[in-house]
Amino acid sequence: MRQTLRLGTVMGIPVGVNWSVAAALIIVAGVLARSILPAASPGVSGGIRWTAAVLTAVIFLASLAAHEFAHAVVARRYGVKVVSITLWMLGGVAQFEGEPPTARADLRIAAVGPAMSGALALAFGGAWALAGVAGAPATAVACLGWLAATNVLLAVFNLLPAAPLDGGRILRGFLWRSRGDRVSAAHSADRAGTVLGFVMMGGGLLALLAGAWLDGIWLALVGWFIVTAARVEDRWTDLREAAEGRRIADVMTPHPAHGWTWQPAGDFAGTVARTSRQPVFPVVDAAGDPVGAVTMIRLVRLRSEEAATALGRFMTPLDPDRVLGPEEPASALLKTTPMRGGLIAVVAADHRLLGIVTTEDLQRLVRGGIGDSRSTAA
């Protein structure tokens, strides 16, 4: 989930919102101001109603963030790095780097999120009861009641035993512990996620047919999101499984076509690139170290007046962590997202370019197209 707007950094974790969170804010505030609050306190002016509705919607988003922070704090305790927390239309996403080390860690990181939502529900519920007894304005009482109910819903919904929901992770943790096999546990949780997602999409369609179009669209949207996320996770699990016990040298495409930083771009495009089927080419400096990459698409678009310019001017520089050694474990490849042209890593040692790894190589790895002589060197 992309952060459109960075709100700030809390406990070293960048917190932001995706643009789609605006839709959630408008829908929540709209439903509150136009149907829930008028029913609770009919005599109140529109201005007060809308102010209370917007404020409640913002507090609702803050409770989503608190849920994600609970995950983040426990994850960190188990050594899992938290890259960011992003709020979007359908909730919050805490992005982790790395996987929980044990089934127990998996269970705890997952369970604390719904526990936080449950605690918030209790707090808002207590405030709602107190406000009612103390004779607070009906609008405030209604807002507190809505926040309590919504956090109960959040806790319950997230406990559904289907990946990528927290309940799916809890299921994965339990199965992992009982089967002793993380991969098969993850596949089971992902399958449960796919089934739940399709059931929700079906339910959404029925609701739409019954005329409840807002509920229907929302349910179908959440279902679609769950199916998509469960499938992505399933592929990710396959990839992790396929990478296990292999070295980068087992996965890479060796002896890739490549260029030099000082070489005229037109020369490279007209000779090496013209006869190659690679989508992307590493670029090497005078010392022999790979320093960048240029895509086939960029070379095809090369204008005639650019032909004499050095190839280095057209390359995208390589991050140092994208240059890996051949003996490193293949799992190191799963930490970087692909660059343009699908380039994941450049393999080099002793100022010598040895290979490249692209998304195609990883697809081949998952399909089993790479020899199954798993390295024992690791």
Catalytic residue positions?
Answer: 68
Helix (H, G, I), strand (E, B) or coil at 313: helix
Counts of helices then strands in the chain (DSSP H, E):
13, 12
DSSP state of 239: H
Could you tell me the end-to-end alpha-carbon distance of the chain, in angstroms, rounded to an integer?
34
What is the largest distance, in Å, between two alpha-carbon atoms of the chain?
Answer: 83
Q: Are the C-beta atoms of residues 271 and 317 closer than 8 Å to each other? A: no
Q: Which residue is nearest to Zn ion (CB)?
A: 113
The only residue of 13, 37, 100, 113 in contact with Zn ion, by rule CB under 5 A: 113
Candidates 31-39, 142-150, 160-168, 224-232; binding stretch for Zn ion (CB under 5 A): 160-168
From the CB of 116, what's the least distance to Zn ion, in Å?
Answer: 8
Size of the chain, expressed as the number of residues it contains: 378
From the CB of 71, what's the least distance to Zn ion, in Å?
Answer: 5
Determine how β-strand 91-97 pairs with β-strand 253-254.
Answer: unpaired
Q: Is the peptide bond before 164 cis (omega within 30 degrees of 0)?
A: yes
Candidates 162-170, 210-218, 346-354, 360-368; binding stretch for Zn ion (CB under 5 A): 162-170
Of the pair 40, 200, the CB lying nearest Zn ion is at 200
From the CB of 109, what's the least distance to Zn ion, in Å?
Answer: 9
Of the pair 166, 234, the CB lying nearest Zn ion is at 166
Candidates 159-167, 208-216, 223-231, 333-341; binding stretch for Zn ion (CB under 5 A): 159-167
- In 3D, which of 123, 122, 13, 26 has the Cα closest to residue 65? 13
Helix (H, G, I), strand (E, B) or coil at 96: strand
From the CB of 166, what's the least distance to Zn ion, in Å?
Answer: 4
Q: Which two tokens stand for residue 167?
A: 């309940």
How far apart CA 144 and CA 374 sit, in angstroms, is 58
Radius of gyration of the chain (CA): 26
Q: How far, CA to CA in Å, does 171 sit from each of 185, 193, 331?
A: 8, 11, 24
Of the pair 176, 268, the CB lying nearest Zn ion is at 176
User: Which run of H or of E encompasses 66?
Assistant: helix 46-77
Residue for token digits 């195609």?
360
From the CB of 38, what's the least distance to Zn ion, in Å?
Answer: 32
Q: By rule CB under 5 A, what count of residues binds Zn ion? A: 2
Candidates 166-174, 214-222, 248-256, 301-309; binding stretch for Zn ion (CB under 5 A): 166-174
CA 245 to chain centre: 25
106 binds Zn ion (CB under 5 A): no
**Other C-beta atoms lying within 10 Å of the C-beta of residue 190:** 25
The only residue of 166, 190, 234, 361 in contact with Zn ion, by rule CB under 5 A: 166
Of the pair 29, 165, the CB lying nearest Zn ion is at 165
Helix (H, G, I), strand (E, B) or coil at 255: coil
Taking CB under 5 A as the rule, which mask of x and - marks residues 48-77 in contact with Zn ion? ------------------------------
Of the pair 63, 188, the CB lying nearest Zn ion is at 63
From the CB of 206, what's the least distance to Zn ion, in Å?
Answer: 27
From the CB of 68, what's the least distance to Zn ion, in Å?
Answer: 7
From the CB of 345, what's the least distance to Zn ion, in Å?
Answer: 31
Of the pair 156, 310, the CB lying nearest Zn ion is at 156
Residue for token digits 């310019």?
309
Candidates 49-57, 113-121, 170-178, 259-267; binding stretch for Zn ion (CB under 5 A): 113-121
Taking CB under 5 A as the rule, which mask of x and - marks residues 76-105 in contact with Zn ion? ------------------------------
87 - beta bridge partners?
Answer: 17, 92
Determine how β-strand 280-284 pairs with β-strand 13-17.
Answer: unpaired
Candidates 145-153, 163-171, 191-199, 300-308; binding stretch for Zn ion (CB under 5 A): 163-171
Interacting residues with Zn ion (CB under 5 A): 113, 166
